[in-house]
């Protein structure tokens, strides 16, 4: 599996003047998973997935209520990590 930073570098290069125009839904879903792994210990990719992105809101579906609770409690930290990985605030809210 490719590293998310490598994928983001390719997107930055392909944008106008080196800037990211807009990240697609799959890339933002991958950034969410990387940020959640960084913030939550023992978090696996199978624990949650991004359902859709609408109006800068990322909708998340979880495999278990405990995971939903943990994501809800660390929502702001995950958003900050996503902002760092994406190079800007691409997602304003997480709905779990």
Number of domains in the chain: 1
CA dihedral 82, 85, 87, 90 (to 10 degrees): -30
Does residue 9 sit within a domain?
no
53-81 mean pLDDT: 93
Q: Is residue 68 part of a domain?
A: yes
52 part of a folded domain:
yes
CATH number for 56 = 3.30.300.180
Specify the DSSP element, H or E, that contains 93. strand 93-95
- Token representation of residue 42: 């023992």
- Identify the CA nearest to 47 among candidates 78, 79, 71, 76: 71
Residue 50 has pLDDT above 80, yes or no: yes
16-41 residue pLDDT tens: 444 445 778 888 999 999 999 999 98
Mean pLDDT of the chain: 84
User: Is there a domain that residue 3 lies in?
Assistant: no
Q: What is the pTM of this model?
A: 0.76
DSSP 42: T
Whole-number CA gyration radius for the chain:
13
**Is 91 part of a structural domain of the chain?**
yes
The answer to whether residue 12 is domain-embedded is no
- Structural domain harbouring 81: 23-95
Residue 6 lies in a domain: no
The Cα–Cα gap between 84 and 10 comes to 17
Average pLDDT over residues 30-58: 91
Would you tell me how many other CB atoms lie within 10 Å of the CB of residue 94? 21
- Judge whether 7 lies within some domain: no
Q: What is the mean pLDDT of residues 7-15?
A: 59
Kindly state the average pLDDT of the residues 78-94. 90
């Amino acid at each position: 599996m490719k590293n998310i930073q490598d994928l983001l570098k390719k997107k930055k290069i392909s944008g106008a003047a080196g800037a990211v125009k807009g990240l697609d839904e799959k890339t933002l879903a991958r950034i969410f998973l990387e940020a959640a792994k960084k913030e939550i210990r023992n978090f696996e990719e199978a624990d949650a997935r991004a359902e859709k992105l609408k109006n800068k809101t990322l909708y998340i579906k979880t495999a278990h209520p405990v995971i939903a609770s943990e994501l809800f409690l660390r929502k702001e930290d995950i958003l900050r990590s996503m902002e760092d990985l994406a190079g800007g605030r691409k997602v304003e809210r997480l709905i779990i």
